[in-house]
Amino acid sequence: MTAETPAVQTPTTPAAPTRDRRGDAAIPSRRERSVPHAGWMVVAGKEFADHLWSSRFLALLVVLGLAALIPMYFAADTIRNAASQVTGASSIFLFLFTLAPKVGDTQVQLPGAWEFIAIVGPLLGIVFAFDAVNSERSDGTLPRLLSQPIYRDDVINGKFAAGLAVIGLVLTFIVLLIAGFGIVRLGIVPSAEELLRLTFWLIVTFLYVSLWLAFGLLLSVLIRRASTSALVAFGTWLLLTFFGGLITQLIGGFIAPITGSLEQQASNLSVQQTISRLLPDTLYREASLAILNPQVAAISNPATIGGYEQAAQRVPSLQSFDQSILLVWPHMVTMLAIMVACFALAYVRFMRQEVRA
């Protein structure tokens, strides 16, 4: 059979040397070369496998699992005690995620499962990205990787894709864990709408964590040492999570102090709220609440006195799923925008960096 294949190639081979010698004609190769494509998938596949086998994956699974299960455990108790008195509430199942439970008979109140995830979630993003590019650099694998037949952006795209996949996996696992455990302990099966809300909340959480993944990736491109990049990433996380509110309050109080007429106070309050939404943390908390709790009818403070009056007159009712989504749509778009901005910056910087350290 070998005799036939060359026959097909013969017409092209002799032509090659006579063709413009200075031109771009490739010197015939000894081996058939398929032009490779989708290099990012190969990179992503390798990175994904690396993540799954890494100790940090296991550690995070344990940390996040505990962070989600412990409040859930106490929340389930509270719900069980209260469930008999509740009538008509359609979101008992989601209380598993939102309820901030008391521990036994003590006054200690734990944050709800979703709040735990709001705090620990960024870790998940950072951990899988902070050393993505700079470790390749310091290990000397980057020149070798880039000399393979892939485009340069395949490397960063693949790494980001692998990070997203791992995040998706971990988050889905945790939500299923809570839900499964809740079903067993409470004996309540979630309704279709609750499932829908839960899935959507999973997407919002995924966006939130991906945002931190993109941030970590950016740091890994900008900062040459993995340890420095980790320090900066975790520092930012601590700062924003625990002092972010304080900082935005300070800024808000400076720019739009709550003084003057009622009308002015209302509008300044709304400005302050906008400023606080510069924090991804705030965005995520507001969005989570609105999705997980159908009773939340508005997440923005009205900007006028009239708005407050209207809000006061509103009959408290449960929001339908699509109404809740409308409420959090801007939040999601903002989180997506921050994520895209971080990734784009990382991408551009990576493409322009010299291969050599």
Partner 1 sequence: MTAPSTRPVRKRVGRKGGGPDRDTGATPRRAREGDDRPRAPIRTRGLTKLYGDLVAVDHLDLEVQAGEIFGLLGQNGAGKTTTILMLLGLTEPTEGQARVVGLDPARRPLEVKRRVGYLPDAVGFYTDMSGRDNLRYTARLNRIEREEAEDLIDEALEQVGLSARADDPTETYSRGMLQRLGIADALIKDPDVLILDEPTTAIDPLGVTEILDLLRALVRDRQMAILLSSHLLNQVQSVCDRIGIFSAGRLIGQGSMHELAARFGEDTAHVEAEIEPPADGGIARVREVLAAIPGVVDVKSPARSSDPWVIGVRPAAEETRVRRAILAAATSTGLDLTSVRVAPPALEDIYRRAVDRATHGHARDVR
Task: Report in angstroms how near the CB of residue 11 gets to partner 1 at its nearest.
Answer: 10
User: In terms of CB distance, is 75 or 127 closer to partner 1?
Assistant: 127
Nearest to 225 by CA among 153, 163, 139: 139
User: In terms of CB distance, is 17 or 253 closer to partner 1?
Assistant: 17
CB crowding 245-266: b at 16 or more within 10 Å, else e: eeebeeebeeebeeeeeeeeeb
Question: In which element (H, E) is residue 30 found?
Answer: none
Task: Report in angstroms how near the CB of residue 135 gets to partner 1 at its nearest.
Answer: 9
Distance (Å, whole) CA 174 – CA 132: 24
* 107 token code pair: 């006054």
Task: Report in angstroms how near the CB of residue 160 gets to partner 1 at its nearest.
Answer: 17
Task: Report in angstroms how near the CB of residue 124 gets to partner 1 at its nearest.
Answer: 21
Distance of CA 206 to the CA centre of its chain: 4
In the 8-state DSSP scheme, what is residue 147?
T
Task: Report in angstroms how near the CB of residue 321 gets to partner 1 at its nearest.
Answer: 43
User: In terms of CB distance, is 139 or 309 closer to partner 1?
Assistant: 139
Cβ neighbour number for residue 89 with a 10 Å cutoff: 13
Task: Report in angstroms how near the CB of residue 63 gets to partner 1 at its nearest.
Answer: 21
In the 8-state DSSP scheme, what is residue 25?
P
Nearest to 207 by CA among 277, 85, 267, 118: 118
CA distances (Å), origin 233, targets 188, 236, 324:
40, 5, 32
C-beta separation of 106 from 215 below 8 A = no
* 264 token code pair: 């002015």
Distance (Å, whole) CA 121 – CA 206: 9
Helix count (H) and strand count (E) of the chain?
Answer: 16, 0
Task: Report in angstroms how near the CB of residue 5 gets to partner 1 at its nearest.
Answer: 6
C-beta separation of 110 from 101 below 8 A = yes
User: In terms of CB distance, is 141 or 317 closer to partner 1?
Assistant: 141
Sites of contact with partner 1 (CB under 8 A): 2-3, 5-6, 9-10, 13, 17, 21, 24-36, 39, 42-43, 45-46, 50, 139-141, 143-151, 354-356
C-beta separation of 100 from 111 below 8 A = yes
User: In terms of CB distance, is 8 or 192 closer to partner 1?
Assistant: 8
User: In terms of CB distance, is 10 or 109 closer to partner 1?
Assistant: 10
Task: Report in angstroms how near the CB of residue 42 gets to partner 1 at its nearest.
Answer: 5
Residue 346, SS3? Answer: helix
Task: Report in angstroms how near the CB of residue 353 gets to partner 1 at its nearest.
Answer: 11
User: In terms of CB distance, is 21 or 84 closer to partner 1?
Assistant: 21
Residue 225, SS3? Answer: coil
In the 8-state DSSP scheme, what is residue 299?
-
User: In terms of CB distance, is 9 or 90 closer to partner 1?
Assistant: 9
User: In terms of CB distance, is 154 or 286 closer to partner 1?
Assistant: 154
